[in-house]
Every structure is written in structure tokens, then in C-alpha cells.
């Protein structure tokens, strides 16, 4: 069905357009035309003066709407997470599992595969955060399951996870160069995190091709005068991106503002959102604006992607058009999708978030 979306302020990911219509067909954006130059054959959808932008992309989320995927390991938990994402303006997400047994990771891979076989929507793939992390920076992760990778184990994961395993957070200093190259050669998005790397160790990992880092500042060696650490390497290495959790808890908003000035387009949002659970290895307790383990260790956020955008604008001085890019265009640059995401221009996926001037999500359109 051909649809023209009209009467809206369009945040394309590059510019802000008014007086134009977004033309879509076969789930793809086919044009961005002047409102007085609509081709025949399109059904017109009037958006009533609202705002529209590319739908958001969350590369790290563990659950939603009361269901933590690693605890449930069910299609229902994935669907609950998808609905949570949609409520926050997000159409695509990387379902995430924290450090666990290899057997549980393999079970998670199979559940995602089953979800897709049942025509499940939204999931880009599985993000394994661990188990190849540094115990010194494990945060809320299970110490007993953290390990150094072997070529044989990684090869097995890549084989069993073919088509599903898409992203992995590792500590570069605990992984041999051969492991990092192996992951990159198999199109895994490798992210440096839960790491106590020195500046030089981190730069070596980035030079090997690691393209991004996981939740800037959290569970990583800090920037210091005599040892810049992983944070310093991220700042310094001009090709490396990093996610950030913009809730004012994981990262102070002033630190977000400073980091944005240093990193520019290399910084993007994730929610790092979990769901409360009293069962399983990860028992997340809701504390009003965050989740913690029962001992008080910070273990996840209560963010949505739109809340990240709101916070960046209100508390870190980031303009709305840039905050929207941090939730869509910039994470999309890490993906290798057949149909590109994250911008409103011809050839991109027709997936949009519609919101009012108070930055409240009105609808997510997946044409």
C-alpha cells in the first residue's frame, strides 16, 4: 500500500522539513515531496501538525513490561520487551543477555530464532554482554561466569548463533587479538565494555576494528591524568562510537554534556533497561528511577528511548534534532541491514516515531 504522510514537522536525520510529505510503499520510503506535488495513487495520512522522526533503535535492552528475557527465556518475554520499546518510540532493538552460562546464552539464541520463525517483530538480534569481561569491572554481572574466551568456544557460539548473534560486549584486554578478529570477521558488532583496559590496550582493540563501546563511564577504566583508560581511548580515537545511558543516574548530565562536546556524532543512546524480577541469576529491584541488585549495586535503567531524548534536551543542552539522531541515525550506523534504518530519505525503512511538542510518543508507524 502506498501512503503519503502529510501535515507534520519532519526530522529527517539531516534536516528539519515542513510543507512536505513522506511517500512510502512496500515498507520503504520512496520520496520526500512537496505537499503540492503528490503523485497519484497514494493514500494520504494527515498527522495533524505533529512531529515525525525515524523510529528509535536500542542496541542494549534486557526486558520490559515486567519480563526479563534471561529469566523467562520465552517468546512472551521478547514480545513484552518489543511493546515496551514501542511505547518509547523504538521500533528495533538488540535483545540483550548479561553474563551467564554458555548453555543459557545458547538457549537465548534459540528462543530469538523461534520468535523470528513466528514472524516476531522488532528484534535485530541478540547482544551478548559477556561473559568475556574483566572481573574488576563486572558491575552487576555474575563473577562465577566471567571467563577468558577460547577460539574453540567462540567458534561454537558463532556457529550456533549464526544469523541471531549480532553484537557482543567484551573487555579487549582479556581477549586475544585472534578472538577480536574472529568476531569482527563474522560481522559481529564488537563493543568494548566492562573493561579495566589501559589506554594502550583499549586503543589496540579499536585499531583492530572494535567500532564501539558499551555505556560510557559505567564499568570501565576512567579518564585520569596519568592513565587515560578506556574513557580516554574512546574520546581520543576518532572512529570509535560509544553508547551512553542518559538517565542522570548511570551518568551525570554534566558528564553527558561534556562527552557530547568531545565526541559529537560518535555518541548514541541505549536504554540499558531491565525488568524487575525476584527469580533467576539477576534479581533486579526497582528503585524509582533505576534498578539495582538486592545489595544496592546499580544493575539497569528504567529508561525508554524517548525519555533519553527528553533528558538530553532538558538537562544536557543537546538540541532536539541532535538528540533524535542519537536515538536513531547514530546507532543505525553500526548495523548492516539490507534496508537502512535511522533516516527519512528514499531507500530507508519506513519506520517512524510520531510525537507532540512535549516530546510525548503518539504513535510508532511501521509501514
Locus of grid cell 536515538:
327
Question: What DSSP string describes 107-157?
Answer: HHHHHHHHHHHTT--SEEEEEEE-SS--GGG-TTS-GGG-----HHHHHHH
Cα–Cα dist 304/317, whole Å: 19
Cell of residue 90, nine digits: 523504538
Catalytic entry in 34, 159, 272, 289? 272
Q: Are strands 285-286 and 189-192 parallel, antiparallel or unpaired?
A: unpaired
Buried (b) or exposed (e) across 341-355, using 16+ Cβ within 10 A? bbbbbeebbbbbbbb
User: Sign of torsion, CA 26 28 31 35?
Assistant: positive
Locus of grid cell 562527552:
259
Based on the residue annotation, tell me whether 185 is a catalytic residue of this protein: no
Alpha helices in the chain (DSSP H): 69-72, 75-87, 102-117, 151-160, 177-185, 199-208, 229-236, 253-263, 305-316, 320-327, 329-332
Cα–Cα dist 79/304, whole Å: 16
Of the candidates 177, 256, 241, the residue with the CA atom closest to the CA atom of residue 211: 241
Residue 362 CA to its chain's centroid (Å): 21
Cell of residue 285, nine digits: 529491584
Cα–Cα dist 142/62, whole Å: 15
Of the candidates 35, 27, 39, the residue with the CA atom closest to the CA atom of residue 6: 35
The CA distances from residue 128 to 13, 104, 118, 196, 336, in Å, are 29, 11, 22, 19, 17
Which of the residues are catalytic? 272
Amino acid at each position: 500500500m502506498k501512503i503519503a504522510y502529510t501535515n507534520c514537522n519532519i526530522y529527517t536525520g539531516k534536516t528539519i522539513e515542513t510543507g512536505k510529505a513522506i511517500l512510502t510503499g512496500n515498507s520503504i520510503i520512496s520520496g520526500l515531496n512537496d505537499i503540492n506535488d503528490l503523485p497519484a495513487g497514494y493514500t494520504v495520512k494527515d498527522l495533524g501538525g505533529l512531529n515525525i522522526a525515524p523510529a528509535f533503535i536500542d542496541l542494549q535492552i534486557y526486558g520490559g513490561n515486567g519480563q526479563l528475557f534471561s529469566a523467562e527465556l520465552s517468546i512472551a518475554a521478547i514480545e513484552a520487551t518489543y511493546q515496551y520499546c514501542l511505547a518509547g518510540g523504538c521500533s528495533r532493538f538488540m535483545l540483550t543477555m548479561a553474563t551467564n552460562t554458555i548453555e543459557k546464552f545458547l538457549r537465548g539464541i534459540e528462543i530469538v530464532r523461534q520468535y523470528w520463525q513466528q514472524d516476531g517483530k522488532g528484534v535485530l538480534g541478540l547482544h551478548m554482554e559477556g561473559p568475556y569481561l574483566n572481573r574488576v569491572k563486572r558491575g552487576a554481572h555474575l563473577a562465577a561466569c566471567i571467563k577468558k574466551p577460547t577460539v574453540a568456544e567462540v567458534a561454537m557460539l558463532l556457529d550456533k548463533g549464526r544469523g541471531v548473534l549480532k553484537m557482543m560486549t567484551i573487555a579487549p584486554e582479556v581477549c586475544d587479538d585472534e578472538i577480536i578478529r574472529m568476531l569482527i570477521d563474522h560481522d559481529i558488532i564488537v563493543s568494548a565494555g566492562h573493561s579495566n583496559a589501559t589506554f594502550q590496550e583499549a586503543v589496540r582493540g579499536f585499531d583492530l576494528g572494535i567500532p564501539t563501546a558499551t555505556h560510557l563511564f559505567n564499568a570501565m577504566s576512567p579518564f585520569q591524568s596519568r592513565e587515560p583508560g578506556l574513557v580516554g581511548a574512546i574520546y581520543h580515537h576518532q572512529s570509535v562510537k560509544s553508547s551512553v545511558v542518559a538517565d542522570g543516574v548511570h551518568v551525570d548530565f554534566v558528564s553527558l554534556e561534556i562527552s557530547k562536546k568531545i565526541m559529537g556524532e560518535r555518541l548514541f543512546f541505549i536504554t540499558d533497561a531491565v525488568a524487575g524480577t525476584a527469580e533467576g541469576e539477576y534479581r533486579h529491584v526497582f528503585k524509582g528511577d533505576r534498578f539495582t541488585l538486592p545489595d544496592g549495586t546499580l544493575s539497569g535503567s528504567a529508561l525508554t528511548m524517548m525519555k533519553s531524548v527528553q533528558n538530553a534536551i532538558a538537562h544536557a543542552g543537546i538540541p532536539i534534532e541532535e538528540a533524535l539522531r542519537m536515538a536513531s541515525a547514530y546507532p543505525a550506523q553500526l548495523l548492516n541491514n539490507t534496508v537502512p534504518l535511522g533516516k527519512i530519505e528514499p531507500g530507508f525503512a519506513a519506520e517512524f516515531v510520531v510525537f507532540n511538542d512535549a516530546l510525548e510518543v503518539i504513535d510508532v508507524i511501521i509501514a
